[in-house]
Amino acid sequence: MRKLILFISIITVTFALNKAEVTKTGNKASKELFMALSKNLKEKIKSDGFAGAVEFCSSEADKITKAVNLKLPQNVKVKRVSLKVRSAKNAPQRVDKEMLELFDNMKANNIVLTPLIKKMNKNMVKFYKPMVINKPVCLKCHGDSKTIDPKALEAIKKKYPNDRAKDYKLRDLRGAFVVTIKK
């Protein structure tokens, strides 16, 4: 536990000079991606059900992420990562995996999940914002056999034969938004 708190402190203090600016930029970029994805996903669920949501995610989520990145300043990029990926495109890099594991350890030790900043080098930082399963509707595609929508499960099996993004419960860590900021 002491090592965990020390590690969190080091990560946060390492970029303390511009922490407020990094946090503002990170929150804005992650919110833009979240809002764009969730707005379109809600519309797809409403029109085509949860199987349609799976189709939407497989064909449109990357396009929406690219469109959001085009709207951001050139030195800012946002993506999603998870330890339990549905799409290999969301697999974490080594440092992303370390940060996701840190979030898991925080959660296991009842530490409130808040964004973390990791200084990569003198010209780049990464802002990590945890994604938590906060709504029962998320479990229609990411839950267990009792909560996943049967049609969604069928679509998931077709689109994502190596799917690992399931068996979540409410308040589980789903992954993180990663905002890379270069100077």
Mean pLDDT of the chain: 92
pLDDT on residue 15? 46
Cα angle 132, 91, 120; round to 5: 85
The tokens for 82 are 């998870």
pLDDT on residue 18? 83
pLDDT on residue 4? 59
- Under DSSP, the state recorded for 140 is H
pLDDT on residue 2? 56
Q: Please give the residue range of the domain that contains residue 97.
A: 2-182
CA distance 143 to 73: 35
What total of structural domains would you count in the chain?
A: 1
CA distance 41 to 37: 6
Q: What is the pLDDT of residues 131-177, one digit of tens each?
A: 999 999 999 999 998 999 999 999 999 999 999 999 999 999 999 99
CA distances from 91 to 20, 21, 82, 171 (A): 28, 27, 6, 21
pLDDT on residue 13? 45
CA distance 135 to 96: 24
Q: Residues of the chain whose pLDDT is less than 50?
A: 6, 13, 15-17
